Amino acid sequence: MKIYNTMTRKKEDFVPIDESEIRMYVCGPTVYNYIHIGNARPAVVFDTFRRYLEYKGKKVKYIQNFTDVDDKIINKSREEGVSAKEISEKYIAEYFKDADALNLERATVHPKVTENMDEIIRFVKVLVDKGYAYESEGDVYYSTRKFGGYGKLSGQNIEELEAGARVAVGESKRDPLDFALWKAQKSEDEPAWDSPWGPGRPGWHIECSAMSNKYLGETIDIHAGGQDLAFPHHENEIAQSEAYTGKPFAHYWMHNAYITIDNEKMSKSKGNFFTVRDILKEYTGEEIRFFLLSGHYRSPINFSRDLMIQSRNALARMHHAEENLRHLKQHGEGEMTEKERSLWENISSFRGRFEEAMEDDLNTADAISAVFELIREVNTAVRDGASGEFAGKCLDLLKELTGILGILSDGGSEEDGISEEIKALVEERQEARKAKNFARADEIRDILREKGLAVEDTPQGPKIVKL
Ligand SMILES: [Zn+2]
């Protein structure tokens, strides 16, 4: 498999450190609000990457943190007159609701800053002891210039960075390039933890270094996130982690491109800021997920009504193919015919096409195209009916590939979710029609319609569909 490594700026063969377990860290959200569509992209993209590795038989240790200590959380808690902990706990719970809607697998661990304070303080202390960091008025700063490779990920040198560096009000750093590892408590209502430098809280960057080290070890396979995190967040993580261990932090850095809204940058001031929760009022999580995977993850993607409707229609075609196959599988007769055997040879080759796309730097756009080509072939092959075995094989392949993308995995089957009572009604309707008792057949049709169901009559018998 080839993946684009931001560090080397080229596609490279992906070679895990330890074949038996791939170690991956994805920067997670700061929990002070619902996640927005921009947060959803890395979550969906890297979840899909992980699903693909798992499909290929790899074990993946996948860590995604929650930043539950942050100025934004403190500000929100002041606005709402509740504790910072109440804010962060609320939005962690809300995150999981959105994650479920988007069909994100749970990370192996979702560590929180507040539950890893000892490790973070120990990490900072080592950096101070090694001379990479210094205490100043209760704060601790990282001496950026001490770290030789600073800027290597984002491709900037110290002179360029110097031009943009500032010392903010209230900061006591020696050099504008330095960044905070620990922030002294400034007022009583700020959450604070005891440390060798007095009460305070960690800066943002140090948490990922400390938690990645704790859960995944010194050098990991992949560190991933949105491209806006490459600088300064990931650059600072590298400086911290490599100064701490003296070893490379991550072998591969993966960054997804940003999302625009109707071709404009998303911002609260422009009024085009969308949370996943807002979007879920109009579209399903599956439609959002499909949309996010419909472009290559390193290309910017534009969120618009047109593209969401396209995603909806494309998914409907997939669901329709799935339902059709499920129906044929249940009602089709017997084993594959000679003709189906040769058709299957062609149809099963789409697995290769799909994998080829995924292994080319996770090209989900091409992988989705491969699924649609598969569906076209299958639809043609089963137009005049199919054996149960053939339909079943096509269905399994379709579900396996879409499952990697995290779509069509809602248990999928409309018929599976149908109660015995409904099945009995459909049966009775069949009998009524046979007996030419059309009044009763229509009555049953109306009962089903009230339950949001319809019966389609097909050559293989009645098919129940949701309205
Ligand atoms: Zn991070």
pLDDT bracket for residue 412 (50, 70, 90): very low
- Tokens 């129940």 — which residue? 464
Residue 257 to residue 24: CA distance in whole angstroms: 19
How many whole angstroms from 196 Cα to the centroid of ligand 1?
24
How many whole angstroms from 224 Cα to the centroid of ligand 1?
8
- Mapping DSSP to helix (H, G, I), strand (E, B) and coil, where does residue 251 land? strand
How many whole angstroms from 28 Cα to the centroid of ligand 1?
7
Pair of tokens at residue 400: 């396996």
pTM of the predicted protein model:
0.88
pLDDT at residue 415 greater than cutoff 70 = no
Mean of pLDDT values over 146-162: 92
More confident: 138 or 459:
138
Q: % helix / strand / coil in the chain, to the nearest 5?
A: 50, 15, 35
- Mapping DSSP to helix (H, G, I), strand (E, B) and coil, where does residue 211 land? helix
Give pLDDT, residue 267.
77
How many whole angstroms from 387 Cα to the centroid of ligand 1?
52
How buried is 267 (Cβ within 10 angstroms: 0-12 exposed, 13-18 middle, 19+ buried)? exposed
pLDDT, tens digit, for every residue of 422-433?
Answer: 888 888 898 898
Residues 140, 133: contact at Cβ < 8 Å?
Answer: yes
Output the average pLDDT for the chain.
Answer: 94
More confident: 464 or 62:
62
How many whole angstroms from 214 Cα to the centroid of ligand 1?
14
How buried is 118 (Cβ within 10 angstroms: 0-12 exposed, 13-18 middle, 19+ buried)? exposed
pLDDT at residue 411 greater than cutoff 60 = no
pLDDT at residue 262 greater than cutoff 90 = no
How many whole angstroms from 234 Cα to the centroid of ligand 1?
6
Q: What percent of the chain has pLDDT over 90?
A: 81
Residue 177 to residue 357: CA distance in whole angstroms: 41
Give pLDDT, residue 417.
58
pLDDT, tens digit, for every residue of 206-237?
Answer: 999 999 999 999 999 999 999 999 999 999 99
Give pLDDT, residue 87.
97
pLDDT, tens digit, for every residue of 357-385?
Answer: 999 999 999 999 999 999 999 999 999 89
